[in-house]
């Protein structure tokens, strides 16, 4: 297959990836290099082919898929977390090349080195379009949403970061599996909380 064919992002490919994964994906960002890589689900949700995602893309390229009305707010929360470290939780829309809108729930964490410089970010993405009832995006630094699942997500994201340096693929895969499952539970809790807020 040629490179042009590898770069094609289709609705059929995304639908198949969402079905296979249960709508949950994982991403990792090397901040100094501005190189983000993601599993096929996350890549396709942001209109990036899995082949290009494996090679690495910039944050600005990823953000192109975010709905224009959500872009500035989500970008600012991410950049604030990059500078100071820590976690964020967000819901926002992404647009496919054909114009289809999807709602995503994201939980991310950013790490700093000993000098306080940003090093890496990683997180989980859950496609929540079917259960999304509110019509507005939100993104915030964690603080008001601290609970057992959020702490577990932070610990798992830190574990994943540590294991990525260790280079043991089986342990890294286990950390990703746990993180994805935590992401599912966080998205479910967020839907419940949003539902209560609307009543």
Q: Name every residue whose Cβ is closer than 8 Å to that of residue 171 and which is 6 or more positions away in sequence.
A: 163
Q: How far apart are CA 26 and CA 40, in angstroms?
A: 9
Q: How far apart are CA 21 and CA 155, in angstroms?
A: 22
Residue 187's pLDDT is what? 67
Tell me: the pLDDT tens digits for 130-147?
Answer: 766 555 565 655 544 446
Q: How far apart are CA 1 and CA 12, in angstroms?
A: 18
Q: Quote the DSSP letter at residue 66.
A: B
Q: How far apart are CA 70 and CA 128, in angstroms?
A: 16
Using DSSP's 3-state secondary structure scheme, residue 124 falls into strand
Q: Are 158 and 109 in contact (CB under 8 A)?
A: yes
Residue 131's pLDDT is what? 65
Nearest Cα neighbor of 140 from 96, 64, 78 is 78
Q: Are 124 and 182 in contact (CB under 8 A)?
A: yes
Residue with tokens 């935590």: 182
Q: Which two tokens stand for residue 106?
A: 């994201």
Using DSSP's 3-state secondary structure scheme, residue 144 falls into coil
Nearest Cα neighbor of 198 from 131, 100, 105, 127 is 131
Strands (E), the chain: 24-30, 35-38, 86-95, 101-112, 118-127, 138-141
Q: Supply the DSSP string of 39-62, one letter for each residue.
A: -HHHHHHTT--HHHHHH-B-HHHH
Residue 67's pLDDT is what? 94
Give helix 148-166 / helix 169-197 axis angle, nearest 10°: 160
Whole-model pTM: value is 0.71
Q: Which two tokens stand for residue 85?
A: 């470290």
Stretches where the chain sits below pLDDT 50 are 1-7, 143-146, 198-199
């Amino acid at each position: 297959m040629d490179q042009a064919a590898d770069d094609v992002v289709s609705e059929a490919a995304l639908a198949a990836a969402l079905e296979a994964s249960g709508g949950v994906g994982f991403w990792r960002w090397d901040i100094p290099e501005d190189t983000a890589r993601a599993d096929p689900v996350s890549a396709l949700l942001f209109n990036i082919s899995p082949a290009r995602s494996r090679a690495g893309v910039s944050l600005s390229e990823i953000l192109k898929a975010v709905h224009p009305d959500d872009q500035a707010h989500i970008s600012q929360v991410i950049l604030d977390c990059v500078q100071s470290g820590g976690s964020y939780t967000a819901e926002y829309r992404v647009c496919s090349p054909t114009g289809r809108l999807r709602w995503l729930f994201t939980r991310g964490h950013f790490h700093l080195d000993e000098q306080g410089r940003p090093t890496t970010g990683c997180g989980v993405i859950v496609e929540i379009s079917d259960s999304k009832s509110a019509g507005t995006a939100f993104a915030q630094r964690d603080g008001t949403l601290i609970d057992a699942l959020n702490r577990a997500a932070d610990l798992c994201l830190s574990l994943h970061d540590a294991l990525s340096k260790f280079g043991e693929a089986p342990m890294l895969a286990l950390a990703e599996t746990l993180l994805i499952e935590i992401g599912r539970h966080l998205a479910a809790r967020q839907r419940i909380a949003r539902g209560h807020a609307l009543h």
